[in-house]
């Protein structure tokens, strides 16, 4: 199987080989042909398996085959849930279209809209966008989607998690009903299938790997540990293991900030990345981390999906997620594109039930270890700590108030949690 045999144009093949890709990944091999045929496609594959090229390459092929007009309306819209992801997909679109006469642009919130609006005015064939900014510009009359031929929903599950369902429905109404629809996701939940029914037309469904399984190349380990000893343990693991590039997930933004400070005082360079950080800070943290200037990046789940950090060797779940699918996404940040990686989870007594659901989802028992001096607390309750009314699909790392994260034992009332989650959801949406 080669990219050439998939029927992609010479100019695309040139860009692909410049990127260093030799053979299509399994999801690319399965998704590219039906997309080229103009079919609606529902595609699922693990993180890091090259889904972006799976839709971008055939999309570019189709657009460059068909005549373009002088006035360049948006002909392809790629919707992504987060700014980072939008920027990343856009970077890929640019690279793959280097030898084509295709113009592209990216729009997302948190930055000045003027350059974005100007780019659209000049005319773009491919637009990569987050929902909030897209609707914003549309409402101001700065953007039309009336000529969209291909619509891509990337990281569809994350889109739902972040509460973008309404926005997606609104965006759908702005496009002509006759168009090609592509939906890509790492996991396929019931909600996703429901969403797919509403968007896709007799879709071809492709799947590269069994659902919700973790990449074989990732070695996984659980450390049972007392809650209060997690920071000490993570410092020990990083220092003694001489880990140089580590992504740590915390449940809350406040927790991320806290841990970042403690790592810094232990002499480990670290930066936090989450929804409360300005776009500038997020971009800086990510580039510092990628270049090796920053040894540890502490992130909430907003960073978990879609970020392409090549060859990341270590992922740590400082707290394990209460939504099991998030575990798959988080550890998918390591072992990318065939490289091996290590994912460790620090699990305290109250997280026992989350661990069980994760093990059920991934279909294996994760090897467990206890480190001397960092033993679990035998008297701690295994009752799960209430998490701000649960995930409630609000996602984006904004799911907990900082008050809650200060005291892990506080138990918020349900109605106030609901309000809080709604608030978080709105904030989340606005920030995108
Ligand atoms: P996903 O969206 O499935 O999580 P990405 O599209 O972000 O994954 O791709 C993950 C990484 O794999 C990127 O660094 C990308 O450049 C690389 N990649 C994609 N396709 C190929 C390929 N055919 N051969 C080698 N590397 C690839
Ligand atoms: Mg992706």
Q: Ligand 1: which residue has its CA nearest to atom 23?
A: 24
Pocket test for ligand 1, best of 87, 337, 339, 341 (most atoms within 8 A of CB): 337
The one-digit pLDDT tens for each residue of the chain (432 residues) are: 899 999 999 999 999 999 999 999 999 999 999 999 999 999 988 777 899 999 999 999 999 998 777 778 999 999 999 888 899 999 999 999 999 999 999 999 989 999 999 999 999 999 999 999 999 999 999 999 999 999 999 999 888 878 899 999 999 999 999 999 999 998 777 888 888 998 999 999 998 864 444 556 678 999 999 999 999 999 999 999 999 899 999 998 899 999 999 999 999 999 998 877 777 787 788 888 888 899 999 998 866 554 555 557 899 999 999 888 888 878 877 765 555 678 999 999 999 999 999 999 888 899 999 999 999 998 888 888 765 433 433 333 333 333 333 333 333 334 444 444 444 444 444 444
Give residue ranges with CB within 6 A of ligand 1. 21, 24-25, 28, 45, 47-53, 308, 310, 336-337
- Spacing, Cα 22 to ligand 1 middle (Å): 12
Atom of ligand 1 nearest to the CA of 21: 24
Say if 56 falls within a structural domain. Answer: yes
**Is the domain of 167 the same as that of 37?**
yes
**Residue 423's pLDDT is what?**
44
**Residue 391's pLDDT is what?**
41
**Residue 100's pLDDT is what?**
95
Structure tokens at 316: 């740590």
Give the integer Cα–Cα distance in Å for 47 and 318: 20
Using the 3D structure, point to which of 369, 393, 410 is the last residue of a domain: 369
Dihedral sign of CA atoms 132, 133, 137, 140 in order: positive
246: CATH: 3.40.50.300
Say if 38 falls within a structural domain. Answer: yes
**Is the domain of 228 the same as that of 333?**
yes
Q: Residue 386, exposed/middle/buried by CB under 10 A (0-12, 13-18, 19+)?
A: middle
Neighbours of 97 (CB within 10 A): 23
Say if 417 falls within a structural domain. Answer: no
**Residue 274's pLDDT is what?**
81
**Residue 366's pLDDT is what?**
93
Using the 3D structure, point to which of 163, 185, 207 is the last residue of a domain: 207
This prediction's pTM? 0.66
**Is the domain of 45 the same as that of 130?**
yes
**Residue 188's pLDDT is what?**
75
Give the integer Cα–Cα distance in Å for 365 and 368: 9
Give the count of domains, the chain: 2
**Is the domain of 203 the same as that of 257?**
no
In 3D space, the residue among 252, 75, 218, 80 whose CA is nearest the CA of residue 158 turns out to be 80
**Is the domain of 348 the same as that of 269?**
yes
Q: Ligand 1: which residue has its CA nearest to atom 2?
A: 51
Using the 3D structure, point to which of 174, 207, 240 is the last residue of a domain: 207
- Spacing, Cα 418 to ligand 1 middle (Å): 38
**Domain, as residue range, for 268:** 218-369
**Is the domain of 249 the same as that of 158?**
no
Which ligand minimizes its atom distance to the CA of 88?
1
**Residue 217's pLDDT is what?**
64
Which ligand minimizes its atom distance to the CA of 52?
1
Atom of ligand 1 nearest to the CA of 24: 23
**Element of type H or E holding 12:** helix 10-19
SS3 342: strand
DSSP 155: S
Q: Ligand 1: which residue has its CA nearest to atom 19?
A: 50
Which ligand minimizes its atom distance to the CA of 15?
1
**Is the domain of 179 the same as that of 39?**
yes
Say if 112 falls within a structural domain. Answer: yes
Atom of ligand 1 nearest to the CA of 51: 3
Give the integer Cα–Cα distance in Å for 159 and 82: 9
Which ligand minimizes its atom distance to the CA of 53?
1
Q: Ligand 1: which residue has its CA nearest to atom 20?
A: 50
**Is the domain of 222 the same as that of 103?**
no
Atom of ligand 1 nearest to the CA of 184: 2
**Is the domain of 231 the same as that of 309?**
yes
**Is the domain of 222 the same as that of 337?**
yes
Say if 395 falls within a structural domain. Answer: no
Say if 406 falls within a structural domain. Answer: no
Residue pointed to by tokens 């496009």: 175
- Spacing, Cα 273 to ligand 2 middle (Å): 19
Pocket test for ligand 1, best of 53, 96, 156 (most atoms within 8 A of CB): 53
Atom of ligand 1 nearest to the CA of 49: 3
Say if 94 falls within a structural domain. Answer: yes
Say if 407 falls within a structural domain. Answer: no
- Spacing, Cα 71 to ligand 2 middle (Å): 30
**Residue 298's pLDDT is what?**
93
**Is the domain of 126 the same as that of 40?**
yes
Atom of ligand 1 nearest to the CA of 23: 23
**Is the domain of 154 the same as that of 23?**
yes
């Amino acid at each position: 199987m080669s990219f050439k045999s998939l029927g992609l144009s010479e100019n695309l093949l040139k860009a692909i080989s410049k990127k260093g890709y030799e053979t299509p990944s399994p999801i690319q091999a399965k998704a590219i042909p039906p997309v080229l045929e103009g079919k609606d496609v529902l595609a699922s594959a693990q993180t890091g398996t090259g889904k972006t090229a799976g839709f971008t390459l055939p999309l570019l092929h189709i657009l460059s085959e068909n005549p373009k007009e002088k006035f360049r309306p948006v002909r392809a819209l790629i919707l992504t849930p987060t700014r980072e992801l939008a920027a990343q997909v856009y970077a890929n679109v640019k690279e793959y279209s280097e030898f084509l006469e295709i113009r592209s642009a990216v729009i997302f919130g948190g930055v000045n809209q003027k350059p974005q609006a100007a780019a659209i005015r000049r005319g773009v064939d491919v637009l990569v966008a987050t929902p909030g900014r897209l609707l914003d510009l549309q409402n101001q009359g700065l953007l039309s989607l009336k000529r969209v031929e291909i619509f891509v929903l990337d990281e569809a599950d994350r889109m739902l998690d972040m509460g973008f369902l309404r926005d997606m429905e609104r965006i759908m109404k702005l496009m002509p009903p006759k168009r090609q629809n592509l939906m890509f996701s790492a996991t396929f939940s019931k909600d996703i299938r429901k969403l797919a029914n509403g968007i896709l037309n007799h879709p071809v469904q492709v799947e590269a790997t069994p659902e919700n399984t973790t990449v074989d190349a990732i070695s996984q380990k659980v450390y049972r540990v007392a809650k209060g000893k997690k920071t000490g343990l993570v410092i020990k693991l990083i220092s003694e293991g001489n880990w140089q590039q580590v992504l740590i997930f915390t449940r809350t933004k406040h927790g991320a900030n806290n841990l970042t400070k403690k790592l810094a005082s232990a002499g480990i360079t670290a930066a936090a990345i989450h929804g409360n950080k300005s776009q500038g800070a997020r971009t800086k943290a990510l580039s510092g981390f990628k270049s090796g200037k920053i040894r540890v990046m502490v992130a909430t789940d907003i960073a978990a999906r879609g970020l392409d950090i090549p060859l990341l060797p270590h992922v740590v779940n400082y707290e394990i997620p209460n939504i099991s699918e998030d575990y798959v996404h988080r550890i998918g940040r390591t072992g990318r594109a065939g490289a091996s990686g290590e994912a460790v989870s620090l699990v305290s007594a109250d997280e026992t039930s989350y661990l069980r659901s994760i093990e059920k989802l991934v279909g294996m028992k994760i090897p467990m270890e206890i480190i001397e001096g960092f033993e679990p607390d035998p008297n701690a309750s295994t009752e799960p700590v209430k998490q701000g009314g649960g995930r409630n699909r609000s996602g984006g790392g904004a799911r907990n108030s900082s008050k809650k994260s200060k005291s892990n034992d506080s138990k918020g009332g349900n109605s106030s949690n609901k309000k809080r989650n709604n608030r978080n959801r709105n904030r989340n949406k606005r920030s995108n």
